[in-house]
């Protein structure tokens, strides 16, 4: 491939310019005078892609050679974000591309802004998978990401009359220049029907699955270029298609329509991402999606094994598959099925391979978010995998009974099948039993995982339990999105920080340097001005960049407590109305995040924020003091503008409920101070930053647990706190909904009667903590010092560190670098 390099793959601006022009004609069929901005985007994207392909082909070739172990990251979501800018950064050609486009009369930033967001994920879990792909490539570790190529990603969020409205995400409408479809890399996946036992030619007992339906999965690949290295890994997403031969019988009886209908059903499998960040257990299509991508991925791994000339016995030496939550946990049964039914291995050997090949990451402790599937639905769709799950369970429970004779309550607690109501398969138990390593995503979360959800399993196999604290990529979330700060970091600690984030420690020496502080603030202010423009064009609200930008962006969820933040704003509003002289610093509160379409309370919280915004922003008495913004359609693309422009990061979930959080890390890297509870990775962020550089409030996880066990009475907090009571009354009165008093009632009643996430219990401490924030902000030297120290001490939260830990502790795989 290198032979072609000189002609079409030069990294200088002249060759880029030449190829952009050439692609404009040969791929877009346009000449400069009539080219649309989008034509220029496509021409540049294809030129950049050409430059990735050389490295990609060589990387794939090197993995096909013997003696490398390959990490396969199985995830139903990859929230990869816009590709052009990131690929330019990782190839190190951003400046050359800028120059080339300028010579062609185009502004690179304007061209990059045209890229559609590939929204193939809901939030944290999907974005984590994308950060890990970036780090795997950067550390030059052999890896493949496996997932689903959704035709429609997460919905686009519009706000109408203050309410969230979902619009379909047609991200592929104008084509996707980063995707390479491989029709020849395709596998068949069975659904429905029944099983049949037989004795094969060698007299061995075998099971055949007579499927009622088959679907074909076609590989759609996206290159994943590492930062300034030769490695370019693969993200392989499966698109479902109809299997031609399955329609044949229908054609023969003349049922043309029936055959086409079958085709439509097959193709709906990869049509749309489920937009919930919690499982909807009854959804047959969702289970079909999960099995579909897992089966294609495992079959692909078996084919690659064969290509490498390795025997089946070596499967787990060549591959390790990380299960991103339970969504791909059917892999336990499917790998067993392939090894038993397709490869003819015996149970013991197949089970040994399966356990050695699989590892499971848990991302939640919330009971309502633990995935289970009812038996009738599961059996109807996946009869053979179900038989295998029964057998895994039978053998596993025998083991439990041997260890704990007579302890039948333990047996039923640990069973893969929940028999307490209608019988259901517990996917977290399946994933745990089938894996050699199980991990949580932050220190606190991993501890609680061992003590609660998987307690019995941790007791049985303590050595299988690990913690790997999440991380995020500093390429996208610092170098790419905050070029102003990146330049200052280059000049201060050298460019090495991008691949070794711990070097940011070198900033500590400058934290009190007045001139340095001034440069630091100037960069932040420029970022805030840019965000103010985006806010204005998205919402029509004018915000003052000199105000404290207090930002909460994440999925809307009661446990994340956006309503706690909202309550505080209402209280502030009332205080400022009563006491106009109050010496509070001007603040701009920004919210962003999507609500699951069926989650009524989350949608009501969005309406409340917009209601408060309307009242506050139109009250002349609040001018220059308070602004409230709901930024619509928060996604990776808009995140690029938001994290670098924040002053304060809201991480205020109920302690023990947020597994890790990753937005908290993105803010920290960008010099944003955190106000937060001791939850998820906040605990470690505070440890790294130093307690004096973190605004801590709220109950600890044990307090939360105890309160809920002993009986929590939210109304007591209302009685005890006049300001809180008045805020709740004002909301209930309809003041924030043009006098309609019924709409927010459910929210207020829910809070005063149940308050499942203890917002009212934490309210007073939150308010007190916000007063400390205000005081610190009023002293710019103090604030800036804290800001610098947060960036300086964010090194731990690079996804490079996280991936090294997965490599060392779980995969037995070292960076090639
Ligand atoms: C499951 C079944 C059916 C439909 C949808 C789902 C589903 C999809 C996404 C369930 C959960 C999903 O995401 C959960 C998530 O994003 N969890 C977050 O993971 C982050 C990365 O580890 C953590 O930082 C967050 O704390 C955690 O909430």
pLDDT tens digits along 188-206: 999 999 999 988 788 888 9
- Is the pLDDT reported for residue 454 higher than 90? yes
Ligand 1 atom with minimal separation from the 123 CA: 16
With 80 as the cut, is the pLDDT of residue 2 above it? no
State if residue 125 touches ligand 1 by the CB under 6 angstroms criterion. yes
Can you tell me the distance from the alpha carbon of 597 to that of 163, in angstroms, rounded to the nearest whole number?
11
Tell me which of 3.40.50.2000, 3.40.50.2300, 3.30.70.580, 3.30.56.10 is the CATH number of domain 474-797.
3.40.50.2000
Atom in ligand 1 nearest the alpha carbon of residue 470: 22
Nearest Cα residue to 576 out of 542, 623, 614: 623
Q: What pLDDT does residue 262 have?
A: 75
Mean pLDDT of 107-124: 98
Return the ligand 1 atom nearest residue 659 CA.
26
Give the model's confidence band at 6: pLDDT under 50 very low, under 70 low, under 90 confident, else very high.
low
Q: What percent of the chain has pLDDT over 90?
A: 93
C-alpha torsion angle, residues 326, 330, 332, 336 (rounded to 10): 180
The residues pairing with 225 across neighbouring beta strands, listed in sequence order, are 232
119, 124, 561: residue to mutate for ligand 1 pocket, most atoms within 8 A of CB: 124
For residue 529, the SS3 value is helix
Rounded CA separation 167/164 (Å): 10
DSSP 506: G
Residue range 769-796, pLDDT digits in tens: 999 999 999 999 999 999 999 999 999 9
Q: Could you read off the pLDDT of 284-325 as tens digits, one per residue?
A: 999 999 999 999 999 999 999 999 999 999 999 999 999 999
Higher local confidence (pLDDT), 332 or 249: 332
- Integer CA distances (angstroms), 231 to 50, 60, 228, 353, 391, in order: 15, 9, 9, 28, 42
Q: Does domain 66-82+117-469+804-811 have CATH number 3.30.1310.10?
A: no
Rounded to the nearest angstrom, the distance between the alpha carbon of 120 and the centre of ligand 1 is 13
Mean pLDDT of the 126-131 span: 99
Ligand 1 midpoint to CA 427 (Å): 14
Q: Where are the domains of the chain?
A: 66-82+117-469+804-811, 474-797
Report the catalytic residues. 363, 554-555, 560, 662, 666
663 lines ligand 1 (CB under 6 A): no
Find out whether 680 and 442 touch, Cβ atoms under 8 Å.
yes
What ipTM was predicted for this assembly? 0.99
DSSP 8-state code for residue 94: H
Average pLDDT for residues 325-349, to the nearest whole number? 98
Fold match, 66-82+117-469+804-811 / 474-797: yes
441 lines ligand 1 (CB under 6 A): yes
CA of 126 to the centre of ligand 1 (A): 7
CA distance 15 to 7: 8
How remote is the CA of residue 322 from the centroid of ligand 1, in Å? 15
pLDDT of residue 62 exceeding 50: yes
Distance CA 503, CA 186 (A): 44
pLDDT at 282: 82
pLDDT at 251 over 60: no
* Pairwise CA distance, residues 364 & 358, whole Å: 19
Q: Give dist(CA 362, CA 71) in Å, integer.
A: 18
pLDDT digits (tens, 9 = 90+) for 697-742: 999 999 999 999 999 999 999 999 999 999 999 999 999 999 999 9
Q: Is 122 in the pocket of ligand 1 (CB under 6 A)?
A: yes
The answer to whether the CB of 135 is under 6 A from ligand 1 is no
498-529 pLDDT tens trace: 999 999 999 999 999 999 999 999 999 999 99
Q: What is the pLDDT of residue 267?
A: 86
């Amino acid at each position: 491939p290198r032979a072609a390099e000189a002609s079409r793959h030069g990294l200088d601006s002249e060759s880029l310019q030449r190829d952009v022009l050439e692609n404009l004609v040969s791929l877009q069929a346009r000449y400069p005078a009539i080219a649309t901005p989008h034509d220029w985007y496509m021409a540049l994207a294809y030129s950049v892609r050409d430059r990735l392909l050389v490295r990609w082909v060589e990387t794939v070739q090197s993995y096909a050679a013997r003696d490398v172990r390959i990490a396969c990251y199985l995830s139903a979501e990859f929230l990869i974000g816009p590709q052009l800018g990131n690929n330019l950064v990782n190839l190190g050609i951003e400046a050359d591309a800028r120059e080339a486009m300028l010579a062609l009369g185009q502004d690179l930033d304007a061209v990059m802004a045209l890229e559609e967001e590939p929204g193939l994920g809901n939030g944290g879990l999907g974005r984590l998978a994308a950060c890990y792909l970036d780090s795997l490539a950067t550390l030059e570790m052999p890896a493949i990401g496996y997932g689903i190529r959704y035709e429609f990603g997460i919905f686009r969020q519009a706000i109408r009359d203050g309410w969230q409205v979902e619009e379909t995400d047609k991200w592929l409408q104008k084509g996707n220049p980063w995707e390479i479809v491989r029709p020849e890399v395709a596998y068949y996946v069975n659904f429905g029907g029944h099983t049949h036992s037989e004795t094969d030619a060698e007299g061995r007992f075998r099971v055949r699955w007579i499927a009622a339906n088959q679907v074909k999965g076609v590989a759609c690949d996206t290159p994943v270029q590492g930062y300034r290295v030769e490695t370019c890994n693969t993200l392989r997403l499966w698109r479902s298609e109809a299997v031609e031969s399955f329609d044949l019988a229908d054609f023969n009886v003349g049922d043309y329509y029936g055959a086409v209908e079958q085709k439509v059903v097959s193709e709906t499998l990869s049509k749309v991402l489920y937009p919930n960040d919690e499982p909807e257990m009854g959804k047959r299509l969702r289970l079909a999606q999960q099995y579909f991508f897992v089966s294609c991925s495992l079959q692909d791994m078996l084919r690659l094994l064969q290509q490498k000339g390795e025997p089946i016995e070596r499967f787990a030496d060549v591959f390790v598959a990380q299960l991103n939550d339970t969504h791909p946990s059917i892999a336990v049964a499917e790998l067993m099925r392939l090894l038993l039914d397709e490869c003819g291995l015996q149970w013991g050997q197949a089970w040994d391979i399966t356990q050695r090949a699989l590892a499971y990451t848990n991302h939640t402790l919330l009971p309502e978010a633990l995935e289970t599937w009812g038996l009738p639905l599961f059996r109807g769709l996946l009869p053979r995998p179900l038989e295998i799950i029964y057998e895994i369970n039978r053998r596993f429970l025998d083991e439990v009974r041997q260890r704990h004779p007579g302890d039948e309550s333990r047996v039923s607690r640990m069973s893969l099948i929940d028999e307490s109501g209608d019988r259901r398969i517990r996917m977290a138990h399946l994933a745990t039993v089938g894996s050699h390593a199980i991990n949580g995503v932050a220190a606190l979360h991993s501890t609680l995982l061992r003590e609660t959800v998987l307690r019995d399993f941790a007791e049985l196999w303590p050595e299988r339990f690990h913690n790997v604290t999440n991380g995020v990529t500093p390429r996208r979330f610092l170098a790419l999105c905050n070029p102003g700060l990146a330049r200052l970091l280059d000049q201060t600690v050298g460019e090495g920080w991008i691949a070794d984030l711990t070097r940011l420690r070198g900033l500590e020496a400058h934290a009190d340097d007045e001139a340095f502080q001034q440069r630091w603030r100037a960069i932040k202010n420029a970022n805030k001005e840019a965000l103010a423009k985006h806010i204005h064009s998205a919402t029509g609200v004018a915000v003052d960049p000199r105000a404290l930008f207090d930002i909460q962006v994440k999925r809307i969820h009661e446990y994340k407590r956006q309503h706690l933040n909202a309550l505080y704003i209402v209280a502030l509003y009332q205080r400022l109305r009563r006491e106009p002289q109050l010496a509070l610093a001007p603040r701009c509160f920004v919210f962003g995040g999507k609500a699951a379409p069926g989650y009524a309370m989350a949608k009501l919280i969005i309406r409340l924020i917009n209601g408060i915004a309307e009242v506050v922003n139109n009250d002349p008495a609040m001018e220059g003091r308070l602004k409230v913004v709901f930024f619509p359609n928060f996604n990776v693309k808009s995140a690029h503008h938001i994290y670098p422009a924040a002053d304060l990061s809201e991480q205020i979930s109920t302690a023990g409920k947020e597994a890790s959080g990753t937005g908290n890390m993105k803010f920290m890297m960008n010099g944003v101070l955190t106000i937060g509870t001791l939850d998820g990775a906040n605990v470690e962020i505070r440890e790294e930053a130093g307690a004096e550089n973190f605004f801590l409030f709220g109950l600890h996880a044990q307090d939360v647990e105890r309160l809920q066990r002993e009986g929590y009475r939210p109304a007591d907090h209302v009685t005890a706190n006049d300001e809180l009571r008045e805020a709740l009354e004002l909301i209930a009165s309809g003041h924030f909904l043009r006098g309609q008093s019924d709409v927010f009632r459910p929210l207020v009643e829910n809070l005063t009667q149940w308050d499942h996430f203890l917002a009212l219990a934490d309210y007073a401490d939150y308010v007190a903590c916000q007063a400390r924030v205000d005081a610190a902000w009023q002293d710019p030297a103090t604030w800036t010092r804290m800001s610098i120290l947060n960036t300086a001490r964010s090194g731990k939260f690079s996804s490079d560190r996280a991936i090294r830990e997965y490599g060392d502790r779980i995969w037995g795989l070292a960076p090639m670098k």
